[in-house]
Structure 1
Amino acid sequence: MDRSEFEQIIQTQDEQIATLGVDVWVGMEPTFTRRFAEIPEWLSEALGPEKLQYAYALLKEVHKRQSGGVVLHTLGRQYSGEDLPRWSLGYYQARQNKFVWQGPPDPCLTQESADATPVEPLESPVIEAFWQALNDALNASSWQATTFTAAKDLRYRVLFRCDSGTPTVDINNKPQLARASVHKTKIPVNGLADELAENGDLLLCLDKHSETPGSIVIELPEVPDVDSFVQLLSCIAQAANQTSIKTLVMQGFPPPVDASVAWITITPDPAVIEINQAPEDNALNFYQRCELYYSAAKAIGLHSYRLHYNGGVSDSGGGGQFTLGGPEPLSSPFFRFPHLLPRLVRYCNAHPALSYWFAPPSIGSSSQSPRTDEGVRESFRELSVALEQLENVEHPEPEFIWRSLSPFLVDPSGNPHRSELNIEKLWNPYLPGRGRLGLVEFRAFRMSRSSQCAAAIAVLLRSIVVMLSQEDRMPKLINHGTKLHDRYALPFYLCADLQTVFKDLQQTGLALHDSIKDLLLQEPVRFIGQAVFHGCKIELKQALEFWPLVGDVASQEGGGSRLVDASTSRLQVTLSVESHHPTQLGGWELWLDGYRIPLRLEQDQHGPVKVTGLRYRNFLPNIGLHPGIGARNSITLVLAHRGLSEALQINYYEWHPQGLAYPGLPTDMDDAEHRRSERFTTEIIPFQGYDQPRTPPDSAMTDYCLDLRRLPS
């Protein structure tokens, strides 16, 4: 779609929301990968020899498209078994021209090529001149500053306060003043904390940068507010320019953030590079930011998707979660409308499409985003009590909301990060520095293929939140029972459920534009193939599967991933009759291995349709369940009608039909589509029925699916 036309559509929806007076900011965590790379850091590992260089290149492209910000090297995640925090590159930028970085650039923004002219190392007099100039600039800002040296790395130090007071510590006696770099220290169990800053004493540590000749590195403290941080940056820029510093690396504690600044970070995650996108106040600004990041990633050869040898398409592998909140923590819509979050919990429970339609392949209780009804049964019952109690409190405090729901918005092991609705940053007193932000993260989202697809989801989520802030669309939790992983494993029913969400929005005056709905309903990676035979159309789509955990949850909690048995796949088969054809749908049958497949008669916008799911094992895992069940390399179906002497045989292959090796990964989407189409073949065969037609055993059938693993061999 034309960009200007799309922006106008989004802006119209933003204006509808604005009239209701509900501030809903939206952010995202887009992830990108090298889709042709087959080395561990782009397949499964978080760290690797080239990922940091790609992150530098990505940051450089972002800076080209949106200059004026400053690069900050802060601390990334640190998981069990890791000695030090992972790297994290940040870009700190004013939203309303509050400041523009006037100092020297980070060296990652100036690196052109490996054969560039070598830079001479800095000599001590230059470093000392910058050190003294920085001290003078701080004092000129009415901040009491003093210099001293330490025996450790980053030996040149400046101690100051930004409240016009004098430092409370003696520079000769305090052990914290000689502290090592936070980048060389393991993050404590209770989180990162600047003990000096807690008392108002701020410590700057600087020296020559060991990894970049000609650069100075300065480590920043935990500054209390944005205004003070901006003033500190101004002092640093002034001192650097005064002493002719060419490049400057700034690292240390994360900066303070409020609605006046946009703070993004680029970090490593298994198989991907992740951008933690700053939240935006409306969907239009969100889309424009997304467009910037997607184009920057594409410019350096990173993609939002992967293509597989057999033509399969998946997202980047890192997901694409969305975050909703407000301009400030206490201005979050989840606090301004305190009954909004309970309503949202019930609404997501009522509409499995919001959990599965946009999700990555791994879904269910062992996934990164389990629903509230995919955990412990007793917990789901207690959730009803918690929601009732919240409804009975007229003005619940933020911490009361968090404490009421946090025990239930977790995965089966109790991990609050792995939940469809993640509220660990809502008002969590146990998450230092970032637990009380008024944010709710929506985790059941794969990485969006394009910036327009991402923006369409942002429009949907903002509209749902605004709708629920005004009225309750689902007063009680629903126990879906076995239907959850049976009926809603099929795209047919998920699509119908999503259409119901669209109708809810329309009824509350927040109707989505048809172009937005079309983007949300797109499912090109699920389509396998279709054929028409005597007026009957048969269509195969990839359905959803819920992979079980292998082993226990607790023993795998310390790792970055969990072992699941992903060897089971599910197909959706639908039959429909062309409206102009006299053949009735009721006369058509579907056969597999001599078994008549049960079909459900349903209705869609075009008329009657028959639907079913087929479940089977498509490979043998090294470690998995059911070692006695073999794998199917192909599925062969026979579409027949009682009044015909011929039938249509449909073959679906997991790999190349002749079992041949592919020459390499698909070059592009067209090549991938060609390989997928090769795996779906049809032929007309003589057919008079089976002499001894077989009925599948009850154990192999559910209301919506036939499990081929349980058919007698």
Structure 2
Amino acid sequence: MRVLLQHVSRYRYPKPATLGPHLIRLRPAAHARARIETYGLHLTPPGELRWQQDPAGNFVARASWPSGRLTELGVTVELAVDIRPVNPFDFTLEPAAGKTPFDYGLLAHELAAYLDPGDPTFALGPLASRFLDALPQGGETIPLVVELNGRVHKAVRYVIRDEPGIWTPEETLRQGRGSCRDSAVLLVAALRSRGLAARFVSGYLVQLRDEGMIPNEPKGVSRDVVDLHAWAEVFLPGGGWVGLDATSGLMCGEGHIPLACTALPRLAAPIEGTTDVVADEILFEMRVGRLGHEVRPTAPFTDETWTALCEAGDRTDGKLRALGIELTCGGEPTFNSRLHPERPEWNGEALGATKWEQGIQLARELQKRMSPGGVLLLRQGKQFPGESLPRWTLELIGRQDGAPLWEERGADPWRGEPGIAQGAADAQKLGSARSLAEAIAARVGLEGFVLPAYEDPWRHLHEEAVLPIDVDPLAADLRDPEERRRLARVLDRGLGAEAGYVLPLKFVEGAFRSERWSFRPGRLYLLPGDSPIGLRLPLASLGGPPAVGIAEEPVEPPDPRSPEAAAREAERERTRLLRRVAEGKVAAEVVQQLLPPPKPPARKPAFAVRTALCVEPRGGALCVFLPPVSSAKEFLALIAAVSEARHSVDDPVLLEGYPPPPDPLFTRMSIAPDPGVVEVNLPPASSFAQHRTMVETVFDAALHTGLHAEKYLLDGRMTGSGGGNHITLGGPTPQRSPWLRDPRLLASFITFLQHHPSISYLFTGLFVGPTSQAPRLDEARHDALYEMEIALTRAFEHDPSAGPPAPWLADALFRHLLIDVSGNTHRAEISIDKLFDWRTAHGRQGLVELRAFEMPPHPRMMVAQAQLVRALVAALAQEPYRAPLVRWGQELH
């Protein structure tokens, strides 16, 4: 960091004064840790200035004014310094000096002045003598000097003392307080009392604003400051003069710039001289400013720039409102661990113990800040090749109206890891699990339908039988394969013990219904595995007539469109197809394939209930597995029943299983593991201010849980977390999404990004190209540009005066083009995976995901990226961007 220091001293005299020679000790010493780039000393009025060195090697300017009397004297020092972090312990002692006391040998004569405690400045009295006697007498040299520095720091309370002079050690200890120069004198006396050569130092102390974001940690200064300061230096053979700052109790670092280092403090005065008239006004001023200030991860914008950016965000909101565009903005920030950066789960692995712990802490912090009264639900996430189970996902669900869903009570159920059973420890909670299951059944009016679930003994007995004779399954090593760990937990609990309790449950015609399940073995034996028992139910072995076909009633996810809009669209599509048949443009057989198939006649299954609520003790808590429901009303009723029933047990209760279906009633966000990071899926924000507040809140919560968004490259450069920061843009509802209401907007966006590769590569990090997470359309697929131009032409043909087109138009035009080399619609720079996929309701959300964004290390950078995209949408909505695509070819890379 390059900074400019300015130190101005001004003396004003009541009448013209004759000045004798002045000695000015305001030039940095040769051993300063900071690199001095420029230095200037200016006198007002000008005088004769000659540089010399005193016996201690300090630079001294001798100034004189032979021209006559002066009414004012000004001394201005200006220097540019390059301050870089240094290690104050970066030195090696001579072997003979490793322990104190030691002999300086040939250097003792040269250091005699720095070993002499007899000067009156260091006069000792009873208090000082007792203080020095209580200090360590010897030992390892470096720990000893650090200890002496710390003892002086604790003994003297720092105050700013403007009166002239330096207190003796006796006076400083009697007062119990002192300035920096008083503490430095006491430390010099303490060092010399132990036979260590020490000297008094006067200099500048530069302190730069603390830009760290770690909460609950001591903070530095809130702004850049520079002051005259005093400290001590001790001479250690092999290490030279080592600085010790008793004011802070720390070693001297890069911000300590020595000016004068002397055996006696009075010889280190910054300005010394004579005059025949005493000055009636003495002024001084010290300033520090940054030179060539470059943005850095800890301070990407100045306050002025940030204010201007926020104002631009508000103007963008106004422009979007004026254009009638309802744009929402979401994101997927990722964080890594500040507490465990060396663990595998923060360096490439997706799962690990510390990631679960910090993920839970993050979910709890977000719950307090963003969804008080919300419910935290553990559900299954994505499953990837090579992983035996889907990854965990924590879903935070709250109500839009702020009404509480779940009241926290008792012990924290998330202290352990619910995914890891604890064998016999969990078996002790089976009584509580049964009580909770029966209480839930009573709340929903289904007493007597709870049945116990057991592990399948035959499978596990076979596995135990084939183990080597010298392997104890109960003492299985956690480094062994998954199957052996699973077997050890089951055997530790006991094959005859109950594993949990199952309540067959289904919401039918406004009420919960159940039925009595029967199985051929007479018991409910779970499928083998580590998943919650709600996912291991043997539904295929339920008893019943063999002629029964599919007993489970299919549940279709709700269409994101309103029923009226969906019906109108279906009728328009049917009319359009029939007209094209009449015109001879489409064969009747094709129409039959395009029209939705008729619904099959309803058939009442023999066993209607194929879902169940389950309760099992796991990981120190009672885990309640919620079955899938088809509406928000059913989910609220289920949550209310569990919330009331948990008052019947003392053990903590947590929820897992299926989340509610999408519904405007709920606010939802999730936390999920990714390789090396943990990912937060933010809910959509409808304005710049809302998005900014959300990002700042999430960052603050992450910092309070030991997470941050920083990593360092091999060359020492700071970068983001290493994960993605994808930006999702859409509308309040799919039908109101700006991408679906005007296909020209998406066409303009595609064209603009194709014309400006810098947007594709500036924020995406180091991993680019056709195999990256966000490949461009023209990377390795140059021939696709011809097809894209055809699609763009079709999109630009839309006439906005004719009203919104069919919502599937924009999706159908670009879905086969915005893909990677394997045809994956999700992994593309502009992903329309959830725009309006006709195959699934989940894919008809009206969302466009921008994936060429890597996680930045600062929340303001994340907000700025989103604002750039929002402003681009507003500009393209106001004036469509239509131009031929550029054939970049190999110029891209």
TM-score band w.r.t. shorter chain: 0.5 to 0.7
1:315 corresponds in structure 2 to: 720
1:240-251 → structure 2 map (5 Å cutoff): 240-241=646-647, 243-251=648-656
1:28 aligns with 2:331: yes
Q: Distance in 2 between matches of 1:159 and 1:349?
A: 53
Q: Distance in 2 between matches of 1:350 and 1:105?
A: 58
1:231 aligns with 2:231: no
Q: Distance in 2 between matches of 1:416 and 1:161?
A: 36
1:187-336 → structure 2 map (5 Å cutoff): 198=555, 203-212=611-620, 215-241=621-647, 243-336=648-741
1:68 aligns with 2:473: no
Deviation per residue, 1:391-442 (Å, 9 max, x gap):
4466543334323211111112222222001111222245x56322221110
Q: Distance in 1 between matches of 2:426 and 2:350?
A: 33
Q: Distance in 2 between matches of 1:257 and 1:249?
A: 22
What letter is aligned with 1:22?
Answer: I
2:501 corresponds in structure 1 to: 155
CA spacing shift, 1:296–1:16, aligned 2, 3 Å: same
Q: Distance in 2 between matches of 1:407 and 1:105?
A: 53
Deviation per residue, 1:148-172 (Å, 9 max, x gap):
3253554321412154267597744
Q: Distance in 1 between matches of 2:791 and 2:668?
A: 35
1:361 aligns with 2:766: yes
2:781 corresponds in structure 1 to: 376
1:546-557 → structure 2 map (5 Å cutoff): none
Q: Distance in 2 between matches of 1:8 and 1:122?
A: 60
1:503 corresponds in structure 2 to: none
2:807 corresponds in structure 1 to: 398
1:412 aligns with 2:821: yes
SS in 2 for 1:377: coil
Q: Distance in 2 between matches of 1:313 and 1:271?
A: 16
- What percentage of residue pairs aligned between the two structures are identical? 29
CA contact (8 A) 1:379 1:408 kept: yes
What letter is aligned with 2:331?
Answer: M
Deviation at 1:333, TM superposition (A): 1.9
Deviation at 1:368, TM superposition (A): 0.9
1:120-199 → structure 2 map (5 Å cutoff): 123-139=429-445, 147-149=449-451, 151-152=453-454, 153-161=499-507, 163-164=509-510, 167=513, 171-172=517-518, 198=555
CA contact (8 A) 2:449 2:515 kept: no
Q: Distance in 2 between matches of 1:145 and 1:326?
A: 45
SS in 2 for 1:419: coil
- Per mean C-alpha deviation after superposition, the further-off stretch among 68-77 and 382-391 is 382-391
1:312-711 → structure 2 map (5 Å cutoff): 312-392=717-797, 396-430=805-839, 434-485=842-893
Q: Distance in 2 between matches of 1:5 and 1:145?
A: 63
What letter is aligned with 2:824?
Answer: N
CA spacing shift, 1:392–1:146, aligned 2, 3 Å: farther
Q: Distance in 2 between matches of 1:91 and 1:235?
A: 19
CA contact (8 A) 1:106 1:249 kept: no
TM-score (norm 1): 0.59
TM-score (norm 2): 0.48
Deviation at 1:349, TM superposition (A): 1.1
Which one of the candidate residues 341, 346, 370 is aligned to 1:37? 341
CA spacing shift, 1:477–1:311, aligned 2, 3 Å: same
CA contact (8 A) 2:751 2:883 kept: yes
Q: Distance in 2 between matches of 1:239 and 1:197?
A: 30
Q: Distance in 2 between matches of 1:469 and 1:173?
A: 62
Q: Distance in 1 between matches of 2:641 and 2:318?
A: 41
SS in 1 for 2:791: helix
Q: Distance in 2 between matches of 1:11 and 1:238?
A: 45
Q: Distance in 1 between matches of 2:786 and 2:309?
A: 43
Deviation per residue, 1:655-698 (Å, 9 max, x gap):
xxxxxxxxxxxxxxxxxxxxxxxxxxxxxxxxxxxxxxxxxxxx
What letter is aligned with 2:812?
Answer: R
Q: Distance in 2 between matches of 1:429 and 1:148?
A: 41
Deviation per residue, 1:564-604 (Å, 9 max, x gap):
xxxxxxxxxxxxxxxxxxxxxxxxxxxxxxxxxxxxxxxxx
CA spacing shift, 1:33–1:124, aligned 2, 3 Å: closer
Which one of the candidate residues 385, 398, 403 is aligned to 1:80? 385
Deviation at 1:483, TM superposition (A): 3.2
CA contact (8 A) 2:731 2:846 kept: yes
Deviation per residue, 1:116-149 (Å, 9 max, x gap):
xxx997644533333233233334xxxx898332
Q: Distance in 1 between matches of 2:307 and 2:414?
A: 31
CA spacing shift, 1:369–1:203, aligned 2, 3 Å: same
Q: Distance in 1 between matches of 2:768 and 2:410?
A: 43
What letter is aligned with 1:34?
Answer: S
Deviation at 1:286, TM superposition (A): 1.4
CA contact (8 A) 1:350 1:474 kept: no
What letter is aligned with 1:24?
Answer: L
CA spacing shift, 1:170–1:464, aligned 2, 3 Å: farther
What letter is aligned with 2:433?
Answer: I
Q: Distance in 2 between matches of 1:174 and 1:449?
A: 58
Q: Distance in 1 between matches of 2:642 and 2:749?
A: 45
Runs of 5+ unmatched residues, structure 2: 1-301, 418-424, 455-498, 537-550, 557-607
CA contact (8 A) 1:148 1:171 kept: no
RMSD: 3.5
Q: Distance in 2 between matches of 1:145 and 1:355?
A: 60
CA spacing shift, 1:378–1:5, aligned 2, 3 Å: closer
Q: Distance in 2 between matches of 1:397 and 1:58?
A: 41
SS in 2 for 1:92: strand
CA spacing shift, 1:305–1:159, aligned 2, 3 Å: same
SS in 2 for 1:339: helix
Deviation at 1:60, TM superposition (A): 2.3
CA spacing shift, 1:423–1:478, aligned 2, 3 Å: same
CA contact (8 A) 1:156 1:207 kept: yes
What letter is aligned with 1:21?
Answer: G
CA spacing shift, 1:377–1:435, aligned 2, 3 Å: same
CA spacing shift, 1:421–1:133, aligned 2, 3 Å: same
What letter is aligned with 2:320?
Answer: I
CA contact (8 A) 2:433 2:501 kept: no
CA contact (8 A) 1:196 1:203 kept: no
CA contact (8 A) 1:204 1:218 kept: no
Q: Distance in 2 between matches of 1:105 and 1:325?
A: 41
SS in 1 for 2:673: strand
- Per mean C-alpha deviation after superposition, the further-off stretch among 292-301 and 460-469 is 460-469
What letter is aligned with 1:77?
Answer: K
CA contact (8 A) 1:51 1:273 kept: yes
Deviation at 1:179, TM superposition (A): 7.5
CA spacing shift, 1:303–1:478, aligned 2, 3 Å: same
CA contact (8 A) 2:724 2:853 kept: yes
2:560 corresponds in structure 1 to: none
CA contact (8 A) 1:182 1:252 kept: no
